[in-house]
Structure 1
Amino acid sequence: MITEKVCQSCGMPLAATEHFGTNTNGTSSTDYCCFCFQHGSFTHDMSMEETIKNSISYMNGSEKIDGRTLTKNEAALKMHIQLPILKRWHSHETTHKEYFAATNRAVDYINEHLHLPINLSDLASIANISGFHFHRIFKALMNESPGEYIQRLRLEKAIFKLQTTQETLTDIAEQTGYQSPHALSKAFKKRFGISPSTFRDQPSELKLSIDDPQVTPVEPQIKEILPKEIICLQVRNSFQEKNAFTHAWKELIQFMNVNGVPDIEHEYVNLSRDISTITKPEQCRRYVGITKQSGIKPKGKFGKQTLEGGLYAVFTHKGAYKDLETLYCSIYRNWIPNSKYRLRDVTFFEKYLNTPDVVSTDELITEIYIPVAPV
């Protein structure tokens, strides 16, 4: 908690009266500084995220911890922790967390029921928000309307199945929430300009063979696992922002009150609900998660998801995370078509057995869990 007298908008110390803002009647405001609050009004109408972005753009090297100058990413993370406890942002942050929690409930329902008819009024009820406000809030947080989001996920799931399975169009339509193959074909052609069958015949990154001699084939272990609940946080801008995963892990670890190192009680996972060669990078649903212990409940932007039980092909990777993409390509292009298994219709995930805070990059160990079933 902040104990010294500071501006309740930007956190600047209020060391002298000339630093105080002014109320409507001209008296000094002891809550806000002169830069944030003048004549009873805030000098800018930005969100907390915009305020942080604006503040770090003016960084000149004066922000220090233990004599070391903070990077802009470190300063932004510090402000994300500090600002929500200030008067101006506290109520905003509480409301924002409620909106995130409501949207998370709706998104989780969509993810688990994509094969069924999804009524928008039912989603609003699940989110516990009126239909009008649910539509507006969902679009503000997800950058898509609920209908657009559902349609995109269904078509992207259809693409993945067309590229990686020999299932009939009837089966794919049933699994993606379309009432008939004709309905799927109509929506597919409207979106992509070609029929599903024509698309299936085209080469794709998930079907081409890897001939790179540096790619060493990896044989997985086939394991049966039990369902596991995780507390998770969606990683925003994971492809655009270099430190997006680092920031997400720090937030989640702080929320879970754990030490940041995998142990017997806590497994650290990365859950991906999209394939980067199919979904636009800015729309990929990627989550960091830690297995849930009793007493910890999801809150605000922290959600809860279930890692499905069943059979998995488990591939072990030793080395840098940046090399995982090559392994994934090898799995989908080479191992699955030549194995005695087919993909199950549940989410794949990664489990981290150690952390870059403790071991070198070359010593990192990651397990990739691909859901499979015997052919």
Structure 2
Amino acid sequence: MSEHSNPWINYEKRIRRVTDHIHAHLDEELDLDRLAEIACMSAYHWHRIYRAVLGETPAMTVKRLRLHRAAGDLVTTTRPIADIARQCGYPNLQSFTRIFRADYGIPPAAWRKQGKHVAPLQPKPNGDTVMYDVSIRKLSDKSAVGIDHAGSYMEINKAFTTLFSQLAGADRLGDVREMFGLYLDDPDTVAVEQLRSAACVVLASATTVPAGLKSFHTAGGDYAVLTHKGPYANLQLAYRWLYSTWLKGAGRELRDAPLFEVYVNNPREVPASELLTEICVPLK
């Protein structure tokens, strides 16, 4: 089917313009009528198309992205919480606290106090260290399609948004069987702007690669699989525990291959506190 005979392809391109604008202007007032203009669509219809393509409303996208950024700012900066709240669009600190707690499970002040990025291996008050469920699994090869992402791993959501909008345009959303991120560099040793990653999905039928996407492959074999529950902003804590604590007693060596994260559920469907992520690290 040609681009002219499939209106969803045009819708996907228009929605992608909107999501690019949202990511680039997250600190600004994002008026729905203005977003409709960027999409070159009727204000009456465009948000319905947006939700059909991405599974959430524009307002939900903005809220999710702003809260995700706020979660990172709370534990990596000393900015006043009220300033972070205003940047998120909440001049009322009580409103921000209520919204943040609903999505992340605890209020922003408690989130900052835990300092999950600042002191990632800090013992719990009872003296125990943070623990995670890790299993060694033999995984099969994965053949996937996806989009490259350059820059901060915390911003790979933009690549996933583009990926899913293009899949919607190709009428392939129903074929998605798994969603994962492929991470090629160590953020502790590579400059943020040089980090390489990819937003990927496994399709039920991957005989053809949808236009605009690339093929990706992960090798099968033994993997250490750490199951993490909670916001993506906390994953760094899990990584450091895996490498500094679990690996010491595991009796296994790492294999020279990229690690990846399998996203078991969808951040558009569950609160951040309920997100499940499987960190898959290749072993010899």
Name the CA distance, whole Å, in 1 between partners of 2:242 and 2:185: 15
Are 1:315 and 2:226 matched, yes or no? yes
| Secondary structure in structure 2 of the residue aligned to 1:359 | coil
Equivalent of residue 222 in structure 1, options 136, 139, 147:
136
The 8 Å contact of residues 270 and 289 in structure 1, kept in 2 or not, is answered as yes
Name the CA distance, whole Å, in 2 between partners of 1:220 and 1:240: 23
The 8 Å contact of residues 223 and 314 in structure 1, kept in 2 or not, is answered as yes
Q: CA deviation at 1:247?
A: 3.0
Q: CA deviation at 1:329?
A: 1.2
In the alignment, which residue of structure 2 is the partner of 1:235? 149
CA RMSD between the two structures: 3.6
Q: CA deviation at 1:338?
A: 2.5
Q: How does 1:1-375 map to 2 (within 5 A)?
A: 64=33, 70=35, 78=39, 211-214=121-124, 216-238=130-152, 244-254=158-168, 257-259=171-173, 266-298=177-209, 301-373=212-284
The 8 Å contact of residues 238 and 244 in structure 1, kept in 2 or not, is answered as no
Work out which structure has the larger RCO, using CA pairs closer than 8 Å and 6 or more positions apart in sequence: 2
Q: CA deviation at 1:312?
A: 0.6
Q: Which moved more, 1:243-252 or 1:311-320?
A: 243-252
The 8 Å contact of residues 311 and 372 in structure 1, kept in 2 or not, is answered as yes
Name the CA distance, whole Å, in 2 between partners of 1:310 and 1:332: 19
Q: CA 1:225–1:60 in 2, change beyond 3 Å: closer, same or farther? A: closer
The 8 Å contact of residues 152 and 193 in structure 2, kept in 1 or not, is answered as yes
Name the CA distance, whole Å, in 2 between partners of 1:314 and 1:367: 6
Q: CA 1:345–1:353 in 2, change beyond 3 Å: closer, same or farther? A: same
| Secondary structure in structure 2 of the residue aligned to 1:271 | strand
Runs (4+) of structure 1 exceeding 4 A deviation are 59-63, 239-243
Q: CA 1:236–1:75 in 2, change beyond 3 Å: closer, same or farther? A: farther
In the alignment, which residue of structure 1 is the partner of 2:112? none
Q: CA 1:252–1:320 in 2, change beyond 3 Å: closer, same or farther? A: farther
Deviations 1:210-269 (A, max 9, x none): 641145122411110111100011124445858524533434543563448xx8x61111
Q: Which runs of 5+ in 1 are unaligned?
A: 4-48, 80-208
Letter in 1 for 2:234: D
TM-score normalised by L of structure 1: 0.42
Name the CA distance, whole Å, in 1 between partners of 2:201 and 2:154: 24
The 8 Å contact of residues 355 and 364 in structure 1, kept in 2 or not, is answered as yes
- Larger Cα-atom Rg: 1
| Secondary structure in structure 2 of the residue aligned to 1:297 | coil
The 8 Å contact of residues 261 and 278 in structure 2, kept in 1 or not, is answered as yes
Q: Which runs of 5+ in 2 are unaligned?
A: 6-16, 41-118
Q: CA 1:237–1:211 in 2, change beyond 3 Å: closer, same or farther? A: closer
Deviations 1:349-371 (A, max 9, x none): 11111101111111111111111
Q: CA deviation at 1:316?
A: 0.5
In the alignment, which residue of structure 2 is the partner of 1:107? none
| Secondary structure in structure 1 of the residue aligned to 2:205 | coil
Deviations 1:305-361 (A, max 9, x none): 111100011110111011011111111122112211110111111111110111111
The 8 Å contact of residues 210 and 334 in structure 1, kept in 2 or not, is answered as no
Among all aligned residue pairs of Structure 1 and Structure 2, give the percentage whose two residues are the same amino acid.
Answer: 25
Letter in 1 for 2:248: P
| Secondary structure in structure 2 of the residue aligned to 1:269 | strand
Q: CA 1:317–1:252 in 2, change beyond 3 Å: closer, same or farther? A: farther
Name the CA distance, whole Å, in 2 between partners of 1:371 and 1:75: 46
Name the CA distance, whole Å, in 1 between partners of 2:4 and 2:170: 22
The 8 Å contact of residues 314 and 367 in structure 1, kept in 2 or not, is answered as yes
Name the CA distance, whole Å, in 1 between partners of 2:157 and 2:271: 18
Q: CA 1:63–1:315 in 2, change beyond 3 Å: closer, same or farther? A: closer
